[in-house]
Structure 1
Amino acid sequence: MELPRDSYMMRIFTEERARGPHHRALFEDIVRKARDDGIAGASVLRGVMGFGSSSTIHNANILDLSSNLPLVIEIVDTEEKLRAFFHSIEDFNDIGLVTMEKVEVLHYG
């Protein structure tokens, strides 16, 4: 798929324990849906420390094997496709902050 030079990136901030509508991890449901919807690309990034609206700090402590670390799902495509994709997932539980920004694609593929 060819991406236009001026594309967009959506970021979805969530956490490891969040569950999607198919009883899998939320990030897995979102990435699978993005692929099925023909979105250009998606990646999941695991944070080593962070906090969100609850102000509870989550961190990668070696003694805490059941941690609930922050995740960022980055999805890239055109603005129109990303807005349509967001409307198709906005009812998923546990989606946190969602941002979108214009990005310049220097190389793809």
Structure 2
Amino acid sequence: MRLEGEALLLRVFLGESDRYEGRPLYEAIVLEARRRGLSGATVLKGFMGFGAHSRIHTAKILQLSEDLPVVVEIVDTEEKIQAFLPVLDGMVREGLVTLEKVRVLLYRSR
């Protein structure tokens, strides 16, 4: 079975070492999104990147970084994502949040 519709994609760009209340920030965001009933969340770890401070973070062996880039992606209805944004305001001290409208094709077994 395939479901289609419009949704909003929330991306949170942060560092692997960012913390919230003693745990990794990416983990805190995913757990809070789950607690609030959002459809799902995925955490992606980058191999290389730079942010606002233009400092390169890389996984190269000779340049080990303990703060690799991390992206949390959440797709849900616009209403649920908009309701989640104030929660992020209280969790993210430094990072980037992007929103984009997406068309969802969801496959589920009958």
TM-score (norm 2): 0.88
Find out whether 1:18 has 2:24 as its counterpart. no
Q: Trace 1:15-54 onto structure 2 (pairs within 5 A).
A: 15-20=15-20, 22-54=21-53
Q: CA deviation at 1:86?
A: 1.1
Moved more, 83-92 or 7-16: 83-92
Q: Between the two proteins, what is the percent identity of the paired residues?
A: 50
- The 8 Å contact of residues 14 and 94 in structure 1, kept in 2 or not, is answered as no
* Alpha-carbon spacing, 1:108–1:36, altered in 2? closer, same or farther (3 Å): farther
| Structure ranking higher in strand proportion | 2
Find out whether 1:105 has 2:104 as its counterpart. yes
Structure whose CA Rg is larger: 2
Alignment: residue pair count: 106
- The 8 Å contact of residues 59 and 69 in structure 1, kept in 2 or not, is answered as yes
